[in-house]
Amino acid sequence: MINLETPKKFQPLIGQAHTVAQEVLRPIARKYDVAEHERPKELDFLAAILNGMSDSGATSGAGAAGAGKGEDKPASGNGNGHAEGTRNGSNLSTALSIMEMCWGDVGLLLSIPGQGLGNSAIAAVATPEQLKEFGGRWAAMAITEPEAGSDSASIRTTAEYDEATDEYVLNGEKIYVTAGERAELVVVWASLDRSVGRAAIKSFIVERSNPGMKLDRLEHKLGIRASDTAAFILQDCRVPASALLGSPEVDVKKGFGGVMQTFDNTRPLVAAMAVGCAKACLDFTREALEEAGVAVDYDKPLLSQSAAAAKFLAMEAEYDAARLLTMQAAWMADNKKPNSVQASIAKAKAGRTGTDIAFGCIELCGALGVTETELLEKWARDVKILDIFEGTQQIQLLIIARQLLGRTSAQLK
């Protein structure tokens, strides 16, 4: 079973990620919040360092692209007080490093070259040959469409196989593609046969330079303004058959479980982003309360403390719950345990908790919480997206309910 303490072997990685967040990300956070759509050039060097750290094997999961399928065989022991047959691997280390990086800035983390959510999507279902071809390149993920938001089974983008050229031809529209303009690759979800429904949905790796995928616009956003969010038009976009992730077979009984494995990897990472942002808000607010003379006593009952201290302690408890649920989902992925429901629970809890904590901290900090001389108001704008993308709060609760009640999507809508 999972040990809920942070593994000792990841402490150096966590320390490095925290240093990057403090020394690199926070100093430029406001600059690129104001300069929306301007590429943060300072992150190019950071990306090279992260890639070098991961390639060396010394710090697996140094960035957001580190999550993978989990080990083929569980470890016989890891020296961290865990039971035999468990492993702390790249999914957990990635989640923990993301928490620290997002303590610095969520939008800038999403802007680090090579650290896109599409990379985790590729790692979730790619073949060894695909990993060799596309591994290490920056990949965005394109799921959402104007008519298909959280209900990814309703996507209308099509992929038709051209036997003469051994290619798939993609047609459709994709919106809200995080890092879509800057990434080298885009993982596009499309249907092989819309009449079949969700079972025909597959994901395809598309080169960003593909002439059939045209950038339509960049969105102006409330938060994570350092990260570009793109909309694309796919018009006769041809990709080789080898660019299809997973099996090309349409299995009605299996549904689209293959592409949904993507979310088992990425939802814990989004939860980790929310946890990191929430921690930033709490740390700032704790210092503000101390400066205002408000004592937070961890040994006294809430009812015997000031209203401000009691509210702060309640928010910290919610933060701890979100963090531990996120660690659990990532740990299960490392140990090849089915984690779909846990991934959705972590995402639902962390997304909502991060938002609640950010605005709760603004309430406690008063005017200090809304001034642009501090980053708290920015964190509150940034964290809201983490309650939305990779499946909204409502969709996560629906997924959890289906799994717990044993209902299908047709039975419980």
Task: State the pLDDT confidence band at 63, using cuts at 50, 70 and 90.
Answer: low
Both structure tokens of 335: 């140990």
Q: Does the pLDDT value for residue 79 go beyond 50?
A: no
pLDDT at 409: 81
Both structure tokens of 183: 């990434």
pLDDT at 77: 46
Task: State the pLDDT confidence band at 154, using cuts at 50, 70 and 90.
Answer: confident
Q: Annotate 102-167 with DSSP letters as a single string.
A: HHH-HHHHTTSTT--HHHHHHHHH--HHHHHHHTTS-EEEE--BTTBSS-GGG---EEEEETTTTE
Q: Does the pLDDT value for residue 324 go beyond 70?
A: yes
| Mean pLDDT for the stretch of residues 54-76 | 52
pLDDT at 259: 67
- 124 or 301: whose pLDDT is higher? 301
| Mean pLDDT for the stretch of residues 332-341 | 93
Q: What SS3 state is found at 171?
A: strand
Place of tokens 């090849």: 336
Could you tell me if 219 and 229 are in contact, meaning their C-beta atoms sit under 8 angstroms apart? Answer: yes
Task: State the pLDDT confidence band at 52, using cuts at 50, 70 and 90.
Answer: low
390 is catalytic: yes
Q: What b-and-e string marks burial along 365-385, b requiring 16 or more CB atoms within 10 Å of the CB?
A: beebbeeeeebbbbbbbbbbb
Q: Annotate 55-74 with DSSP letters as a single string.
A: HHTTTTT-STT---S--SS-
Q: What is the DSSP letter of 375?
A: S
User: For the chain, what percent of residues have pLDDT higher than 90?
Assistant: 73
| Mean pLDDT for the stretch of residues 293-314 | 95
Domain residue ranges in the chain: 1-413
pLDDT averaged over every residue in the chain: 89
Both structure tokens of 63: 């960035």
1-413 carries CATH number 2.40.110.20: yes
| Mean pLDDT for the stretch of residues 356-364 | 98
pLDDT at 78: 45
Task: State the pLDDT confidence band at 265, using cuts at 50, 70 and 90.
Answer: confident
pLDDT at 60: 47
Beta bridge partners of 204: 188, 244
Q: Does the pLDDT value for residue 16 go beyond 60?
A: yes
Q: How far apart are CA 262 and CA 57, in angstroms?
A: 23
pLDDT at 401: 96
Task: State the pLDDT confidence band at 72, using cuts at 50, 70 and 90.
Answer: very low
pLDDT in tens, 106-121: 999 999 998 888 888 8
Q: What is the DSSP letter of 19?
A: H
Task: State the pLDDT confidence band at 230, using cuts at 50, 70 and 90.
Answer: very high
Q: Highest mean pLDDT range out of 8-12, 29-33, 112-116, 254-258?
A: 29-33
| Candidate list 100, 184, 318, 390, residue with the active-site label | 390
| Mean pLDDT for the stretch of residues 182-197 | 94
pLDDT at 260: 73
Could you tell me if 238 and 194 are in contact, meaning their C-beta atoms sit under 8 angstroms apart? Answer: no
Could you tell me if 115 and 64 are in contact, meaning their C-beta atoms sit under 8 angstroms apart? Answer: yes
Q: Does the pLDDT value for residue 59 go beyond 80?
A: no
Angle at Cα 179 formed by Cα 173 and Cα 184, nearest 5°?
90
pLDDT at 70: 59
Closest by CA position to 23, among listed 101, 106, 94: 101
